[in-house]
Amino acid sequence: MTAISVSNLSKRYGKTRALDNVSIDVQLGEMVALIGASGSGKSTLIRHIAGLEAGDGETGKVVVLGQVSQTAGRLMRGRTAGRVAVIFQQFNLVGRLSVLTNVLIGNLGRVPRWRGTLGLFSRSEKEKAETALARVGIPQVATQRSSTLSGGQQQRAAIARTLVQEAEILIADEPISALDPSSARRVMDVLATINTQDNITVLVSLHQVEYARRYCKRTIAMRDGRVVYDGPSTSLSNTFLAELYGDASEELVLPESPAELLRALPVRPNSHDPVHMLA
Ligand SMILES: Nc1ncnc2c1ncn2[C@@H]1O[C@H](COP(=O)(O)OP(=O)(O)OP(=O)(O)O)[C@@H](O)[C@H]1O
């Protein structure tokens, strides 16, 4: 089954064409990078796939896990509730609550609402959340307030919540753009591991193409609301990017020296490496 299917989707904000007849398909089990310079439409596409916004016109359609989530500018909410998780660059966690409670919130679709709202989770639910935190490499922060976590830890806690939620698709909108290279690598390692070990389909938007090349077999590149490349990440040479983006390509290529780059991007763990070894 196709995990995500977007066809002929367009969206304007005033005079800005944020999405211009976008069509993409992501298959179950894939880990796909969405790259593009600032303003190219990545976040807008993600919001549409996540069912947070409806496109314009009569032609656009989004199908997620076989369910139509929008068609012809009309949203059909709730059809894939719980099966798709979205994490953003920021604002994924409730800062005043403990990390464990934030992860347990992933269970809310499953436990009675009154129990969830009162924070009454069972021992086994708590154990599941603790296991998820261990899998993303941050078991030690379970009792901390979420507001005290580093940016990378916050992203990993949000991924742990996705595991508890048992989501089948994870869409991550620039999860590493505010992080230093080593934290960015840890977050990307965790995404790669949940993709290979848990078979969670991952669509991740990234500013920098190195991470796409390193972690995702396939990259979709956007420019001015259009898909300008969809294919193997290995074909995205810097020369090709320069042709595709002109001056804006500088934004997509890491500025570090080759030595720093090598340090930032060590060999990706194979699918048998337990994630908790990555902390
Ligand atoms: N709610 C909105 N109202 C008006 N314009 C918007 C809105 N959302 C997005 N846009 C515009 O649509 C275009 C695409 O924006 P989008 O945020 O999708 O780009 P992006 O590729 O995610 O950029 P970045 O990498 O900077 O996050 C931009 O020109 C942006 O200013």
The domain locations on the chain are: 2-89+168-278
Give the residue-averaged pLDDT of 253-279.
44
Q: Is the dihedral of CA 157, 210, 172, 41 positive or negative?
A: positive
Residue 273 CB partners (closer than 8 Å, separation 6+): 193
DSSP-derived secondary structure letter, 152: H
Sheet with 31-35, side-by-side order of all strands: 84-87, 169-173, 201-206, 31-35, 218-223, 226-232
Q: Is the CB of residue 51 below 6 angstroms from any atom belonging to ligand 1?
A: no
Q: What is the pLDDT of residue 89?
A: 81
Question: Concatenated DSSP letters for 28-86?
Answer: TT-EEEEE-STTSSHHHHHHHHTTSS--BTTT-EEEETTEEEEETTEE-TTTTTTTEEE
Phi then psi dihedrals of residue 217, to 5 deg: -70, -30
Q: What is the pLDDT of residue 82?
A: 83
180 residue type, one letter = D
Q: Is the CB of residue 18 below 6 angstroms from any atom belonging to ligand 1?
A: yes
Q: What is the pLDDT of residues 75-105, one digit of tens each?
A: 998 778 789 999 988 778 888 889 999 999 8
Task: List C-alpha distances in Å: 277 to 135, 193, 198.
Answer: 9, 11, 17
Instruction: Categorise residue 208: left if φ over 0, alpha if ψ from -120 to 50, beta otherwise.
Output: beta
What is the pLDDT confidence band of residue 270, given thresholds at 50, 70 and 90? very low
Query: What residue's CA is closest to ligand 1, atom 7?
Result: 13
**Is the separation of the CB atoms in 172 and 204 below 8 Å?**
yes
Q: Is the dihedral of CA 251, 252, 253, 255 positive or negative?
A: positive
Q: How many percent of the chain have pLDDT more than 90?
A: 65
Give the residue, out of 44, 89, 209, 211, with the most ligand 1 atoms within 8 A of its beta carbon, to mutate for a pocket test: 44
Q: Is the CB of residue 40 below 6 angstroms from any atom belonging to ligand 1?
A: yes
Q: What is the pLDDT of residue 276?
A: 31
Q: What is the pLDDT of residues 193-246, one digit of tens each?
A: 999 999 999 999 998 899 999 999 999 999 999 999 999 999 988 888 888 787
Q: What is the pLDDT of residues 172-194, one digit of tens each?
A: 999 998 899 999 999 999 999 99
Q: Distance from the CA of 139 to the center of ligand 1, in angstroms?
A: 35
Of 145, 185, 141, which is closest to residue 160 (Cα–Cα)? 141
Q: What is the pLDDT of residues 124-161, one digit of tens each?
A: 889 999 999 999 999 999 999 999 999 999 999 999 99
Could you give the 3-state DSSP secondary structure of residue 93? coil
Task: Supply the CATH classification number for the domain 2-89+168-278.
Answer: 3.40.50.300
Provide the β-strand partners of residue 31. 202
Q: Is the pTM of this model over 0.95?
A: no
**Is the separation of the CB atoms in 18 and 225 below 8 Å?**
yes
Give the residue, out of 17, 43, 228, with the most ligand 1 atoms within 8 A of its beta carbon, to mutate for a pocket test: 43
Residue 150 CB partners (closer than 8 Å, separation 6+): 183
Q: Distance from the CA of 39 to the center of ligand 1, in angstroms?
A: 5
Q: What is the pLDDT of residues 6-45, one digit of tens each?
A: 999 999 999 999 999 999 999 999 999 999 988 999 999 9
Give the residue-averaged pLDDT of 54-72.
93
Q: What is the pLDDT of residue 279?
A: 28
Q: Is the CB of residue 43 below 6 angstroms from any atom belonging to ligand 1?
A: yes
Q: Is the CB of residue 36 below 6 angstroms from any atom belonging to ligand 1?
A: yes
Looking from the CA of residue 11, the nearest atom of ligand 1 is: 12
Q: What is the pLDDT of residue 241?
A: 85
Can you give the length of the chain in residues?
A: 279
Give the residue, out of 9, 22, 40, with the most ligand 1 atoms within 8 A of its beta carbon, to mutate for a pocket test: 40
